[in-house]
């Protein structure tokens, strides 16, 4: 196991150098032979291990060295400094980090699937210490030689046709988000068009984007063809002019912008049931792959699905900045509100099924052209969920940490009402404090306005309030609605 490996010698990889016992025995021998004081100042050697056998050998050597030291001390052939040197080395050997041959995390070894991590390029990492695995990745800092000091502005300068970091020529401004701006660039080294995402100079934004790089590296490292998984392809990343920069493949519009444009200007509706069938299968394929890596996307919405090809109806899942591992300490605030799963809203434990709920919301929106659950407030969103999908199960109401924020004890929704000026002078017990929200009864079938029973049934499966009743991505891919040949423009 991971605990059975000792650290590699400096400049050596795993499997090189002496075993752990030999290293300690050599130190003991040096302490016995060397003049007083020299051994005490010598640095303990770092030696690699080779599994359980090396650990056993190391333990035996520690025992042997301790016995040798005790005998030598009793005979008067060791001075106190030499005894201390051997004892310090033994303590260091037991506390030092251990390199791994496996990238699996210790905390959920029995559940977490084994998968590849991108090589760290580091002689020491990955390493395990006290049950925690530490890893690393290189981050190139690109700078101008013979120049120091801060940049003139905290905002990265973007000028058309300028060349960033002597490699990327800016051709087009693509847009901005809460913590980044994106530009289309021509990579002067490879000749390909790429998307450059420039993270704003803010520590929290940079930290979140470093998380996204870590996750993108895992996603790109575990498949021979990330295009077949319909996930974003990572090309490069660097730190330049006080900004973290991420380079990815260049894609087209996101589904929100494209849907709005098509609805307002398109001669024919693009999001037919056939096209939706193809898009849904691609997104479920992406989720099945991502979920298989023990990840939750946690922000699936039309803005985070980009078109790769309009004519071939190809899309890709992007923006893994909010993604997390299933066994992370999960945040209670994830997902954009209109696509937020009931278990997240109510403060219940959640897992990858939240992405399945979001996908149901996205597909319904693309078909109707309207957000399924409007989000002017959490309470009104819950009222729409109850009105369209059905009642929230009792066990979820009883266990949800946030249920008292939205429901009266008898289970009715409420929201606090701001006190109006004309009521401000009234005693507190006479001021209006809450307003009941009565869900407007409807159904998913009514909202979808289609006679396609399999399509409606598919959405009903994805939008089950109880996450234990929702299908996994792999299970959803087996639904009858995704059977090829149903539509002339579908699968």
Please write down the HEC assignment for all residues of 439-462: CCCCCHHHHHCCCCHHHHHHHHHH
Least confident of 35-44, 115-124, 162-171, 287-296: 35-44
Out of 3.30.200.20, 3.40.50.880, 1.10.260.40, 3.40.50.410, the CATH code matching 127-144+153-249 is 3.30.200.20
pLDDT for res 24: 38
199: pLDDT confidence band, cut at 50, 70 and 90?
Answer: very high
Residue 414 has pLDDT above 90, yes or no: no
Residue 3 has pLDDT above 90, yes or no: no
pLDDT for res 54: 43
49: pLDDT confidence band, cut at 50, 70 and 90?
Answer: very low
435: pLDDT confidence band, cut at 50, 70 and 90?
Answer: low
Residue 453 has pLDDT above 50, yes or no: yes
Mean pLDDT for the stretch of residues 129-136: 93
Mean pLDDT for the stretch of residues 155-181: 96
Least confident of 118-132, 136-150, 405-419: 405-419
- 61-75, 86-100, 120-134: range with highest mean pLDDT: 120-134
- Indicate the pairing of strand 163-164 with strand 434-437: unpaired
80: pLDDT confidence band, cut at 50, 70 and 90?
Answer: low
Least confident of 51-60, 201-210, 482-491: 51-60
Tracing tokens 């066990």 back to the chain, one arrives at 395
CA distance 244 to 240: 6
| C-beta neighbour count of 432 within 10 angstroms | 12
Which residue did the predictor score with more confidence, 188 or 64?
A: 188
Least confident of 59-68, 140-149, 347-356, 359-368: 59-68
| E-assigned strand segments in 200-349 | 234-240, 243-249, 295-296, 305-309, 314-317, 324-325
117: pLDDT confidence band, cut at 50, 70 and 90?
Answer: confident
pLDDT for res 23: 42
Least confident of 146-160, 189-203, 433-447, 473-487: 433-447
pLDDT for res 70: 59
Mean pLDDT for the stretch of residues 368-384: 93
How wide is the angle at C-alpha 404 spanned by C-alphas 401 and 408, nearest 5°? 150
pLDDT for res 310: 97
306: pLDDT confidence band, cut at 50, 70 and 90?
Answer: very high
CA distance 89 to 94: 9
115: pLDDT confidence band, cut at 50, 70 and 90?
Answer: confident
Residue 462 tokens read as 């994805």
429: pLDDT confidence band, cut at 50, 70 and 90?
Answer: low
3-state DSSP call for residue 28? Answer: helix
451 is catalytic: no
460: pLDDT confidence band, cut at 50, 70 and 90?
Answer: very high
3-state DSSP call for residue 14? Answer: coil
pLDDT for res 88: 54
Mean pLDDT for the stretch of residues 441-463: 96
Taking the model in full, what pTM does it have? 0.76
**Domain 251-420+431-482 CATH superfamily:** Transferase(Phosphotransferase) domain 1 (1.10.510.10)
Are the CB atoms for 40 and 78 separated by under 8 Å?
Answer: no
Residue 271 has pLDDT above 60, yes or no: yes
Percent of the chain residues topping a pLDDT of 70: 73
Mean pLDDT for the stretch of residues 285-300: 98
pLDDT for res 18: 38
Query: Catalytic residue among 19, 299, 319, 355, which?
Result: 299
For the chain, what are the domain ranges? 127-144+153-249, 251-420+431-482
CA distance 321 to 330: 14
Are the CB atoms for 55 and 67 separated by under 8 Å?
Answer: no
Residue 72 has pLDDT above 70, yes or no: no
Q: Do domains 127-144+153-249 and 251-420+431-482 have the same CATH topology?
A: no
Span 317-344, pLDDT tens digits: 999 999 999 999 889 889 999 999 999 9
Mean pLDDT for the stretch of residues 397-416: 87
Residue 437 tokens read as 């929200």
Mean pLDDT for the stretch of residues 25-30: 41
pLDDT for res 266: 81
Q: Average per-residue pLDDT in the chain?
A: 83
DSSP state of 254: B
């Amino acid at each position: 196991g991971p605990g059975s490996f000792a650290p590699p010698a400096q400049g050596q990889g795993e499997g090189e150098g002496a075993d752990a016992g030999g290293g300690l025995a050599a130190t003991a021998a040096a302490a016995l032979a060397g003049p007083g004081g020299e051994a005490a100042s010598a640095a303990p050697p770092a030696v690699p291990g080779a599994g359980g056998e090396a650990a056993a050998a190391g333990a035996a050597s520690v025992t042997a060295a301790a016995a040798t030291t005790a005998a030598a001390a009793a005979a008067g052939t060791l001075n106190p400094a030499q005894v201390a040197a051997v004892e310090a080395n033994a303590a260091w050997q037991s506390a030092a980090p251990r390199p791994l041959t496996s990238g699996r995390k210790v905390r959920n070894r029995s559940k977490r699937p084994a998968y590849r991590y991108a090589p760290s390029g580091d002689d020491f990492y990955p390493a395990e210490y006290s049950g925690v695995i530490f890893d690393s990745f290189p981050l190139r800092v690109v700078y101008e030689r013979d120049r120091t000091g801060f940049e003139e502005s905290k905002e990265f300068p973007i000028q058309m046709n300028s060349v960033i970091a002597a490699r990327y020529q800016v051709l087009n401004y693509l847009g901005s988000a809460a913590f980044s701006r994106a530009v289309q660039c021509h990579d002067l080294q490879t000749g390909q068009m790429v998307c450059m995402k420039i993270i704003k100079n803010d520590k929290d934004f940079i930290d979140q984007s470093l998380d996204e790089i870590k996750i993108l590296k895992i996603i790109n490292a575990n498949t021979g063809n990330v295009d077949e998984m319909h996930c974003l392809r990572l090309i490069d990343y660097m730190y330049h002019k006080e900004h973290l920069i991420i380079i990815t493949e260049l894609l087209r519009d996101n589904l929100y912008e494209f849907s709005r444009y098509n609805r307002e200007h398109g001669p024919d509706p693009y999001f037919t049931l056939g096209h939706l069938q193809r898009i849904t299968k691609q997104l479920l394929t992406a989720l099945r792959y991502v979920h298989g890596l023990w990840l939750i996307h946690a922000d699936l919405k039309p803005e985070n699905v980009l078109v790769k090809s309009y004519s071939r109806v190809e899309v890709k899942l992007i923006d893994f900045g909010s993604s997390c591992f299933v066994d992370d300490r999960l945040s209670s605030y994830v997902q954009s509100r209109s696509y937020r799963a009931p278990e997240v809203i109510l403060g219940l434990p959640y897992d990858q099924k939240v992405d399945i709920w979001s996908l149901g919301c996205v597909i319904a929106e693309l078909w109707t052209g309207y957000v399924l659950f409007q989000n002017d407030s959490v309470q009104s969103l819950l009222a729409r969920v109850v009105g369209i999908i059905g009642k929230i199960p009792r066990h979820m109401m009883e266990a949800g940490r946030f249920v008292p924020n939205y429901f009266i004890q008898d289970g009715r929704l409420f929201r606090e009402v701001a006190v109006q000026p004309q009521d401000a002078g009234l005693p507190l017990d006479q001021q209006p404090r809450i307003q009941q929200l009565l869900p407007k009864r409807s159904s998913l079938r009514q909202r979808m306005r289609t006679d396609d029973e399999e399509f409606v049934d598919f959405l009903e499966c994805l939008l089950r309030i109880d996450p234990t009743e929702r299908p996994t991505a792999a299970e959803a891919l087996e639904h009858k609605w995704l059977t090829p040949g149903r539509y002339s423009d579908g699968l």
